[in-house]
């Protein structure tokens, strides 16, 4: 009776929450208070697919849900991105019947990486995707190895691991295990022989701590690594990006499926690859997946095109406190052949908690903006001085860089007769501050 009561309370709260536009973690939080082991009392579907990692989880989950529903599967997933145990509880209880059964074919869970061990104590995923482990929000997360240790406790022997073979730390979860599905990229035309990054988190073997070598880098420390000392190495992949053409926005999967890219970044390709891997395992035909992913524009609002006066631009939502996320966005700007201006805003470091820490700015490879197609660079927000100091330690000519602390004034400055395309690079916490000053396309 208690279980059914809890389900009803959660469903009602969720309904009410939706009406008043409240977040999706509160109903689950209350449900867990009423019945702490509620998650283990619900009958779950055959497929329980979990996705975690530093970057790309929300996008990957959205893509998986899109492909599966396009192909006739019913999917319950945490689309609001409440990814700790409370949000997952809301998801499960709102998707289940009063007969205590989740109706959908597939339960798809985006999980926070540090708290996965609490969520999966009750719900054991049948399939578990780990996308990557980067320096991400270190003010909360400590560092990638600390997150690795926390995540390790959320993995059970019966769970099918689906791992990014190109990430040396993620791959350690599968080292020595038989039953692992590996995804990754072959040597690509966009690869570099040497590392292009401010730091090298692949310098030392995560297994034995001897120095590692790379035969190719896809980006940062993501690539084909091996440890001459203990033999740890990048695993062969079952699901593979076999070629990319970023200029024309094409990715090729497993040598046979061509996907036209809505966002021309390797980052996006990895998310597509992870989604392709999961959908293939569920039994969807590769050709169909490729069709569903072609020109797929994310609905999670992370890439937004806009107009500012006579000028056009794109906002690339990047994560503050996450240098690889920034590097990827900066790379998109450097690939703009026609030439562009770039605006970087750091106003509130986080929307969820307060910190004044800007150490992460020093891990971002801003140097790449010295590329000739980047014309003007605008630095804005409360931490514009810290950005200015950071740029002062690059070879970018000072006359290219303008420091305008007030975001409104910076927008006014951009609203000029210049014809260059504008890329705005900032975080969830700050994006509304600029979007309020522009005309968002499609609104």
The DSSP letter of residue 154 is T
CA atoms within 13 A on the CB side of 45: 23
| Of 10-18, 33-41, 215-223, 351-359: span binding other proteins (CB under 8 A) | 351-359
Residue from 159, 238, 334, 382 that binds other proteins (CB under 8 A)? 382
In the complex, the smallest distance separating the C-beta of residue 316 from other proteins, rounded to whole angstroms, is 22
| Of 37-45, 135-143, 274-282, 369-377: span binding other proteins (CB under 8 A) | 135-143
Contact 364, 198 (CB under 8 A): yes
Q: Which two tokens stand for residue 373?
A: 């197609």
In the complex, the smallest distance separating the C-beta of residue 341 from other proteins, rounded to whole angstroms, is 21
Helix (H) or strand (E) holding 383: none
Site string for other proteins, 400-419 (x = CB under 8 A): ---x----------------
| Alpha-helix residue ranges (DSSP H) falling in 254-358 | 266-282, 286-293, 323-334
Q: What is the largest CA-CA distance in the chain?
A: 70
Contact 174, 235 (CB under 8 A): yes
| Alpha-helix residue ranges (DSSP H) falling in 227-315 | 266-282, 286-293
Contact 113, 47 (CB under 8 A): no
Other CB atoms within 10 Å distance of the CB of residue 12? 11
In the complex, the smallest distance separating the C-beta of residue 199 from other proteins, rounded to whole angstroms, is 6
In the complex, the smallest distance separating the C-beta of residue 370 from other proteins, rounded to whole angstroms, is 17
In the complex, the smallest distance separating the C-beta of residue 202 from other proteins, rounded to whole angstroms, is 11
Residue from 4, 33, 36, 145 that binds other proteins (CB under 8 A)? 145
Contact call for residue 228 and other proteins (CB under 8 A) = no
**Interior angle at CA 294, CA 289 and CA 296, nearest 5:** 105
Give the number of residues in contact with other proteins, rule: CB under 8 A: 36
In the complex, the smallest distance separating the C-beta of residue 203 from other proteins, rounded to whole angstroms, is 5
Contact call for residue 394 and other proteins (CB under 8 A) = no
Contact call for residue 360 and other proteins (CB under 8 A) = yes
Contact call for residue 74 and other proteins (CB under 8 A) = no
| Of 141-149, 219-227, 294-302, 427-435: span binding other proteins (CB under 8 A) | 141-149
Give the C-alpha separation, 392 to 400, whole Å.
11
In the complex, the smallest distance separating the C-beta of residue 89 from other proteins, rounded to whole angstroms, is 24
Give the C-alpha separation, 111 to 16, whole Å.
24
With 0-12 CB in 10 A as exposed, 13-18 as middle and 19+ as buried, what is 260?
A: middle
DSSP 170-218: HHTTTTT-SSEEEEEE-S-TT-BSS--SSS-TTSB-TTT-SBPEEEEEE
Contact call for residue 196 and other proteins (CB under 8 A) = no
Contact call for residue 359 and other proteins (CB under 8 A) = yes
Contact call for residue 179 and other proteins (CB under 8 A) = no
The three-class DSSP label of residue 431 is helix
Residue from 1, 354, 397, 443 that binds other proteins (CB under 8 A)? 354
Pick the closer one to other proteins by CB: 211 or 299.
Answer: 211
First and final C-alpha spacing in the chain: 46
In the complex, the smallest distance separating the C-beta of residue 385 from other proteins, rounded to whole angstroms, is 4
Contact call for residue 199 and other proteins (CB under 8 A) = yes
| Of 19-27, 201-209, 225-233, 408-416: span binding other proteins (CB under 8 A) | 201-209
Q: Which two tokens stand for residue 348?
A: 């509130």
- Give me the residues that bind other proteins (CB under 8 A), please: 135, 138-146, 149, 198-200, 203-204, 209, 354-363, 382-383, 385-386, 388-389, 392-393, 403
């Amino acid at each position: 009776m208690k279980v059914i009561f809890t389900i009803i309370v959660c469903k009602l709260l969720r309904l009410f929450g939706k009406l008043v536009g409240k977040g999706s973690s509160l109903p689950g939080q209350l449900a867990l208070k009423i019945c702490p082991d509620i998650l283990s009392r619900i009958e779950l579907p055959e497929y329980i697919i979990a996705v975690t990692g530093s970057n790309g989880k929300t996008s990957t989950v959205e893509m998986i849900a899109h492909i599966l529903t396009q192909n006739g599967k019913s999917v319950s997933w945490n689309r609001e991105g409440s990814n700790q145990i409370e949000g997952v509880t809301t998801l499960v209880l709102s998707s289940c019947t009063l007969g205590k059964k989740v109706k959908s074919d597939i339960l798809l869970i985006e999980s926070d990486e540090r708290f996965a061990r609490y969520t999966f104590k009750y719900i054991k995923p049948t399939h578990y995707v780990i996308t990557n482990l980067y320096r991400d929000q270190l003010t909360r997360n400590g560092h990638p190895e600390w997150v690795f240790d926390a995540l390790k406790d959320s993995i059970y022997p019966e769970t099918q691991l689906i791992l990014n073979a190109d990430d040396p730390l993620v791959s350690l979860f599968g080292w020595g295990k038989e039953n692992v599905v590996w995804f990754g990229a072959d040597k690509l035309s966009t690869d570099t022989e040497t590392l292009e990054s401010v730091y090298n988190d692949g310098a030392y073997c995560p297994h034995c701590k001897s120095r590692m070598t790379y035969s190719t880098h896809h980006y940062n420390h993501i690539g084909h690594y091996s440890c001459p000392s203990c033999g740890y190495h990048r695993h062969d992949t079952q699901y593979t990006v076999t070629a990319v053409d970023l200029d024309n926005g094409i990715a090729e999967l497993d040598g046979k499926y061509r996907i036209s890219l809505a966002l021309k970044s390797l980052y996006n390709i990895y998310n597509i690859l992870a989604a392709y891997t999961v959908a293939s395992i569920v039994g969807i035909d590769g050709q169909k997946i490729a069709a569903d992913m072609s020109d797929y524009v994310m609905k999670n609002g992370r890439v937004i095109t806009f107009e500012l006066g006579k000028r056009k631009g794109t906002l690339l939502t990047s994560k503050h406190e996450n240098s690889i996320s920034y590097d990827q966005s900066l790379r998109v700007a450097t690939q703009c052949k026609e030439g562009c201006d770039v605006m970087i805003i750091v106003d509130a470091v986080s929307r969820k908690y307060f910190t004044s820490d800007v150490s992460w700015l020093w891990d971002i490879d801003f140097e790449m903006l010295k590329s000739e197609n980047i014309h003007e660079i605008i630095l804005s927000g409360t931490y514009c001085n810290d950005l200015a100091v950071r740029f002062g330690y690059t070879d970018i000519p000072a006359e290219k860089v303008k420091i305008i602390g007030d975001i409104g004034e910076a927008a006014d400055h951009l609203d000029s007769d210049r014809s260059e395309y504008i890329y705005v690079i900032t975080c969830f916490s700050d994006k509304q501050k600029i979007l309020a000053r522009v005309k968002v396309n499609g609104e």
